[in-house]
Structure 1
């Protein structure tokens, strides 16, 4: 156990140990909702190194964990065999380079199957729905009841809660316009939508 602790606290593993502590703390904060796993920037750099397609935090965490393991295990197994002095220092520098290389290649392989499960870009937020049309899915919409289906630009669909301030005829299958989002009530304000009145419609006006 002492050998492992000494290796983890010595060069070069200490570099990865420090980064691993940051990674563990970050994911603990994410688990309790105090951090967002999409919040770490640097996507362009990871994409250039073949590790894009997943959130940067995931790629960085994998890279750190693999590098730490390779550095620790190599140091524990081979460092005692190295003579003291310049040879051992050169060996430890080589371990650093090998750990980074192995971690990079391994992370590239690991992110490939994760790309479809963990997309790099977050999905649309509720506020992205404001200004979109929707299809009413309930028999009525009033000030306290209503649901509608909305389709954002990415082609997905979502069932959202909708309310209206007036008494317009909004029934199942009719088209509405989501014009505001109520944070407290977690619903959208909706109004009847007539495509013939849309100023963006060709031939209108």
Structure 2
């Protein structure tokens, strides 16, 4: 009961809720209804917009869903033990939420470098698979999934080993492709994690 009371009391309850969402996601992924790389496109769009990518925190090399899951898990563990040790210092009323919020923020900040350390040894398990799949896409046809493709934006669907994957694509000329058009993948840009496409020569 003491354990349940802690995890479902502020501030730990915030991380408990996030952890339940993470567990739900991985259960769905295990059933095959979600892709662990589903957030990679969002990060790429953010990077194209000039914003700081979450990869700069040291999370690169593994799927973003794994990094986020580890951040939530470590934040929850840190919050649980901090809550147990310092619950007496949170006080009452407004101060309870002020100090609780500060504790929650501190746990989150601590979890980020710890996650970066944990994902480092995991990168070798994803690098070879990622490189192989990206190289295998070269020469395949793709179907444009966005209203336009230009040097800075575009997505397309490609059939690979019996599955349909959504990838980032770019075109050197604007207006060449629109929704539903077919293109040919000719080059992969590692820095932007996108493919250069051209019109099919046949």
Distance in 1 (CA, whole Å) between partners of 2:71 and 2:130 is 20
Asked if structure 2 preserves the Cα contact closer than 8 Å seen for 1:13 and 1:71, the reply is yes
**2:95 pairs with 1:91:** no
Query: 1:154-199 deviations in whole A, cap 9, x for unaligned?
Result: xxxxxxxxxxxxxxxxxxxxxxxxxx9995xxxxxxxxxxxxxxxx
What value does the CA root-mean-square deviation take over the aligned residues?
Answer: 3.2
Deviation at 1:115, TM superposition (A): 1.1
Matched ranges for 1:102-141 at <5 A: 102-119=110-127, 121=130, 123-124=132-133, 128=137
Q: TM-score, normalised by structure 2?
A: 0.57
**Could you say which residue in structure 1 is the equivalent of 2:64?**
56
CA separation of 1:31 and 1:89: change in aligned 2, threshold 3 A: same
Higher RCO (CA 8 Å, separation ≥ 6 residues): 2
Unaligned runs of at least 5 residues, structure 1: 132-179, 184-205
CA separation of 1:127 and 1:51: change in aligned 2, threshold 3 A: closer
Aligned residues: 136
Looking at CA atoms only, which structure, 1 or 2, has the larger radius of gyration? Answer: 1
**Could you say which residue in structure 2 is the equivalent of 1:100?**
108
Unaligned runs of at least 5 residues, structure 2: 48-52, 141-158, 163-202
Deviation at 1:81, TM superposition (A): 4.3
Distance in 1 (CA, whole Å) between partners of 2:23 and 2:112 is 19
Deviates more, 1:34-43 or 1:66-75: 34-43
Q: TM-score, normalised by structure 1?
A: 0.56
Structure in which a larger fraction of residues adopt helix: 2
Distance in 2 (CA, whole Å) between partners of 1:39 and 1:57 is 8
CA separation of 1:85 and 1:63: change in aligned 2, threshold 3 A: same
